[in-house]
Amino acid sequence: MISLRIQEVCRKTGLTKKAIYFYIDQGLITPDRNAENNYLDFSEADVDRLQIIALLRQYNVPVGAVEELFRYPSMTNFYLHRQLADLRAQLLRQLGLIRSLSTLLTELPPQYNVANLKEQVGRSTAATEADQSMLDLVCPDQDARMISIFIWSSFLNVPKSEYRLFLWGKITEQAQQELKGSLRYVARIIYALDSEQIENDARQRYHDSQAILKMQEDSYGQLRQRIMNRLRHLADDPRDQAYWTLNYEKVTLPLVRFVNGPLGDLIAEYNSEYLIYLKNMQRLAASVRRELLEGAERDLYERLIRVLNGKLDLDQYPGLISFYTFEMGLYMILPLAKQRQLLEE
């Protein structure tokens, strides 16, 4: 195994000794120490990791986030999207400051005393719609890509091809149009969560999607019963009812429309297994819906309508039935007050 001294590592990574020692102290790399001379021996893997760290730090990714990213490597897309969103927010604030100061300077006479700045107190430095438009032109957000990856992650692990790249471009393009509406609230909630919460949710959604994809007659009954049990839980749990009514217009309905709209056809082209999954999910939802509206669970349906203040339109959105069981969990993690604040901003 090749071992390198710190001078060679500095040359290969462009990092200073001080920076490398700092990353060692933070536990981001753990080079061996030579028992004979007490020097640090760096491996090629250490160098590779330091190069990745240097790249992430160039994008101003905080050291704490770098550490989490190595702990949750499958969350790379999420971290980079969130960093872009943070950088865009910072730049938007800077654009507001620059515009305000530039406008102020054009208004000041050539001879001006600092004491006279008192008359400018209260002047707005907030970003304007023009600042936002400029930012979007120079640096478009990538939230639509992030949400698309997040929603359909269970079906994106397929071999690359030119056609799939074309389809992915169409998917994110249409998602961007949706993001101008209520899907922006979905992005806010996702960015407010930590990596462990999102990782755990992604694992659970993958497990559920595989169960639905491979559904047979025996598992069909089990999944159907699971949905029914969750709906009974919703009818009895005031906490879940509060999240449901809070999320209904700005999170739940936009997501249900998004997933069950034209983009679903594109995902089915991207990965044909999604079509099987979708048909099985629709079969489950249709069966439970019939039981609620016309069968033995009519009382449960009426109770749900009552406790949810009518926010359960199964005629127009039958997908709501399965959403609560398989998708809702992520949108009930943040404290209710915090989530309400994000949806009201």
**Tens digit of pLDDT for each residue in 10-68?**
999 999 999 999 999 999 999 998 878 878 899 999 999 999 999 999 999 999 999 99
Task: Name the strand (E) or helix (H) holding 286.
Answer: helix 273-293
Residues 219 and 295 in one domain: yes
Give just the sign of the alpha carbon dihedral 326, 157, 147, 264: negative
In three-state secondary structure terms, 168 is helix
Please state which of the ranges 31-35, 82-86, 160-164 shows the lowest mean pLDDT.
31-35
What's the CATH code of the domain at 42? Answer: 1.10.1660.10
In a domain, 95, yes or no: yes
CA torsion sign for 272, 273, 277, 283 is: positive
- Residue 42 DSSP one-character state: B
Same domain, 203 and 166: yes
In a domain, 114, yes or no: no
Q: Are residues 18 and 134 in the same domain?
A: no
Q: Taking the mean position of all CA atoms in its chain, how far away is CA 325?
A: 19
- The arithmetic mean of pLDDT across residues 225-250, rounded, is 96
Query: For residue 225, what is the enclosing H or E element?
Result: helix 217-236
Q: Which domain holds residue 215?
A: 144-344
Domain assignment present for residue 50? The answer is yes
d(CA 47, CA 50): 5
Q: Are residues 92 and 37 in the same domain?
A: no
Of 1, 65, 58, 67, nearest in space to 31 by CA: 1
Residue 65 domain-assigned (yes or no) = no
pLDDT at res. 112:
86
> Does some domain include residue 120?
no
Q: What pLDDT score does 305 carry?
A: 96
Domain count for the chain: 3
Cβ neighbours, 10 Å, residue 88: 19
Domain assignment present for residue 270? The answer is yes
Strand partners for 40: 33
Same structural domain for residues 199 and 339? yes
Query: In this structure, is residue 227 part of a structural domain?
Result: yes
Which helix (H) or strand (E) segment holds residue 41: the answer is strand 40-41
Query: Nearest CA to 8 among 37, 30, 35, 41?
Result: 41
**Mean pLDDT confidence for 103-119:** 88
The amino acid at 278:
L
Tokens describing residue 285: 């939802």
CA angle 77, 82, 88 (to 5 degrees): 130
Give the Cα separation of 207 and 198 in Å (integer): 14
Pair (261, 315) in one structural domain: yes
The pLDDT of residue 1 is: 62
Residue 33 β-bridge partners: 40
Domain final position from 87, 118, 141:
141
Give the predicted TM-score (pTM) of the model. 0.81
Give the per-residue pLDDT at 230: 95
Q: Is 4 helix (H, G, I), strand (E, B) or coil?
A: strand
Residues 134 and 185 in one domain: no
Query: pLDDT (tens digit, 9 = 90+) per residue, 186-237?
Result: 989 999 998 889 889 989 999 999 999 999 988 999 999 999 999 999 999 9
Is residue 207 classed as helix, strand or coil in its secondary structure?
helix
